[in-house]
Structure 1
Amino acid sequence: MKGDSFDMILEISQEYLKNEMKKVNAHPASFNIFKDKSMIIPLKLFDIPTPGANIIKQEMLSSGGDAVVHKNAVDCNVETSDIILLGTKKHYNILMEKLQKMPYFKLDKACCELKKFFSTEKTNFIKSPWGRTLSFDKTRVMGIINVTSDSFYSGSRKQSIQEILDTARDMIQSGADVVDIGGMSTRPGSDPISEEDEAKRVVMAIKAIRENYHDIMISVDTYRSNVAEKALEAGADIINDVSGFSFDQKLVEVAAKSNAPYILMHIKGTPKNMQENPTYDDLIKEIAQYFIDKINYAISFNMDENNIILDPGLGFGKTYKDNMEIMDRVRELQSLHRPLLIAASRKSFIGKALDLKSADDRLEGTLAITALCAYQDVDMVRVHDVKENVRIIEMVEAIKCRR
């Protein structure tokens, strides 16, 4: 016997809100209005003078939202306070309208940052200097080919032309969107090789792949400007830099001049010392600030900020706890409105989580992270095992399409 419907309440997920409004037979013109009202967006502002923090809290309360401030802000016993704003788009619009009339206590600056946050749209594609494009309409897959003998995962090491071409063919046939070529290991504790040797390795691999596969995007994994320049000349499309311009000051000039997409990775230290007790006071805040500072630095060299892809650098100056926190807070990094790449494939933090010492045994853990990334609309994953990761993404995308 069919039960009475009035005795049931369901919480509707944001992803299915529009579908459910259709079932209620609401007017289509109201969908976006109700959607904006349905979602509280927690935003955090930093180091606001205490009087300004109190003003923001009162204005949010008066609009129907709220704000979390320091416990001693109310009587101004602290100089500044971080603020967590809790409101819908409607509440924020009201707040911004009021703050723009208040040029004091950093309120005008807070208003500008809020306006920038709500008006900025993430670029939905990248275009290489050679004209090849890649859209971010789903999670894309970057396959790893290391032209080295010492990368941490032996399965990625390919040194002969035939090995490189066979691997590239298999990756492309399995659905890789980008093939990433590295000529020098940056595993924890590794020493750099000569620039000449690195360039020779990557140029050989890039030329071979490009001659056989004209359409595939190729990235070069290097932090050296001369290597990047030679790789681009050989047919590479993307610069993948683990250093964030830190190890070679000329690399930013190469990226700007070539107009090549650039993967900006967060790192603390160097590959040689980065895992020697890395510490953070506020992990996500510090990574985000690093990205903002580096993006502004790149813009100062006339680099197109829409060409920049962010990589939080799992395993590069991070503890096990740090890596797990980054994966659990990916959405916060997406609020920077830049394409995001996650490179977790077979790394040691997966081994620690699953008690697996060998990188050979970490495929399933990698696939779990890829599934999480696909579900959360991460733009790209960098992986060793293309076929398996592509299938995981396709399955997640098939579920998401039901929305």
Structure 2
Amino acid sequence: MPDTRDSVFRTNSTLRLRGNLLDLSAPLVMGILNITPDSFYAGSRASNVETAVERAGQMITDGATILDIGGYSSRPGASAISLEEELDRVLPVIEAILHQFPDTYISIDTFRAEVARQSVEAGACLVNDISGGSLDDRMFETVASLQVPYVVMHMRGTPQTMKLLTSYENLLKELIDYFQQKVYQLRQANIKDIILDVGFGFAKAIEQNYFLLKNMEVFQILGLPLLAGLSRKSLIYKKLNIPVSESLNGTTVLNTLALTKGASILRVHDVKEAVETVKLFQAYND
């Protein structure tokens, strides 16, 4: 296995969160906390504020650098919810976690500009948008006004339609073109900290996901940090013909491969195991 620290594509970058600079030359772990009743992995769901705070505390203890809080399930075919319901789910959780753990870095997982705005005002310091701004034309100007980092993901359609939109003529070229266009728009809006997410499982068939993972280092040519969101997804449990509850081992394998391809952030349900994966990956490269 090559020493990925010295890759010609390696992006040595920093991420500014709440006035602090995080060094991304060592990969970070982002813990997933879903305030939803219908996210695809039941173990990620928190049905009330108390449960969310308890799980947040465990993730922090296990070594998560960022907690990613979402109130709208993005699993294929998920039911749409109103803006008000999404806000009612996430805002009390953000406030309660920061009351208990005031130094925590919180990301808001949303494609709605108003949810992003109110969440950042409540204490979140990063916006993670599965739609890359395509589902709310106010997202880029909102993030620019908030001056927080932004995760731009590739997806087609909506969570309700994306499974039907997996036809590509040239998958890598189309994603590179997509990100080049998005990054140009974000730079024009004066958004400084940008993270790229190729969107594993979003408008991609299983074979396309593996092709993207195999070629993930190509996206480093854009000079921006890469986030890998592979945790417990269907490319693992459907390929192995196992329940999602048994997909932790497969997640660890794919997270390790993502690290060799230049991932700077692992977005995961199982923080302890991901942190251990990063530590061993770093030890191997030292």
Question: Is TM-score (shorter-chain normalized) higher than 0.5?
Answer: yes
d(CA) in 1 for partners of 2:285 and 2:172? 27
Partner of 1:354: 240
Q: 1:173 to 1:384 in 2, by over 3 A?
A: same
- Letter aligned with residue 378 of structure 1: A
Does residue 180 of the first structure (1) align with residue 68 of the second (2)? yes
Moved more, 254-263 or 367-376: 367-376
**Per-residue deviation, residues 187-229 of structure 1 (Å, max 9, x unmatched):** 1011220101101111111101111112221100001011100
Alignment check: 8 A CA contact 1:310 1:339 kept? yes
Partner of 2:258: 373
Q: Relative contact order: is structure 1 or structure 2 higher (C-alpha 8 Å, sep ≥ 6)?
A: 2
Q: How far did 1:131 drift?
A: 1.5
**Per-residue deviation, residues 347-401 of structure 1 (Å, max 9, x unmatched):** 0111122122x21111111000111122333100100000011111111111111
- The alignment partner of 1:127 has SS state of strand
Q: How far did 1:123 drift?
A: 5.6
Alignment check: 8 A CA contact 2:149 2:191 kept? no
Structure 2 residue ranges without an equivalent (≥5)? none
d(CA) in 2 for partners of 1:122 and 1:261? 16
2:249 to 349, 359, 364: 364
Does residue 312 of the first structure (1) align with residue 201 of the second (2)? no
d(CA) in 2 for partners of 1:375 and 1:387? 19
Q: How far did 1:243 drift?
A: 0.6
So what's the TM-score if we normalise by structure 1? Answer: 0.68
d(CA) in 1 for partners of 2:91 and 2:21? 21
Partner of 2:146: 258
d(CA) in 1 for partners of 2:261 and 2:138? 35
**Per-residue deviation, residues 25-61 of structure 1 (Å, max 9, x unmatched):** xxxxxxxxxx9xxx9x8xxxxxxxxxxxxxxxxxxxx
- The alignment partner of 2:222 has SS state of coil
d(CA) in 2 for partners of 1:336 and 1:295? 9
d(CA) in 2 for partners of 1:278 and 1:15? 33
Alignment check: 8 A CA contact 2:130 2:152 kept? yes
Matched residue count: 285
2:52 to 142, 151, 164: 164
Alignment check: 8 A CA contact 1:147 1:202 kept? yes
- Letter aligned with residue 147 of structure 1: I
Matches within 5 A, 1:288-307: 288-304=176-192, 307=193
- Letter aligned with residue 145 of structure 2: K
**Per-residue deviation, residues 115-167 of structure 1 (Å, max 9, x unmatched):** xxx9xx84611113x31432202111000000010000000000212211110
Sequence identity of aligned pairs in percent? 38
- The alignment partner of 1:335 has SS state of helix
**Per-residue deviation, residues 268-293 of structure 1 (Å, max 9, x unmatched):** 11111100151111101101110000
Partner of 2:225: 339
So what's the TM-score if we normalise by structure 2? Answer: 0.95
Alignment check: 8 A CA contact 2:32 2:67 kept? yes
Partner of 1:211: 99
Q: 1:323 to 1:225 in 2, by over 3 A?
A: same
d(CA) in 2 for partners of 1:281 and 1:290? 14
Partner of 2:279: 394
Alignment check: 8 A CA contact 2:107 2:128 kept? yes
Q: How far did 1:14 drift?
A: 6.3
**Per-residue deviation, residues 228-266 of structure 1 (Å, max 9, x unmatched):** 000000100100000111111111111111110000000
Alignment check: 8 A CA contact 1:132 1:217 kept? no
Structure 1 residue ranges without an equivalent (≥5)? 1-12, 17-34, 42-117
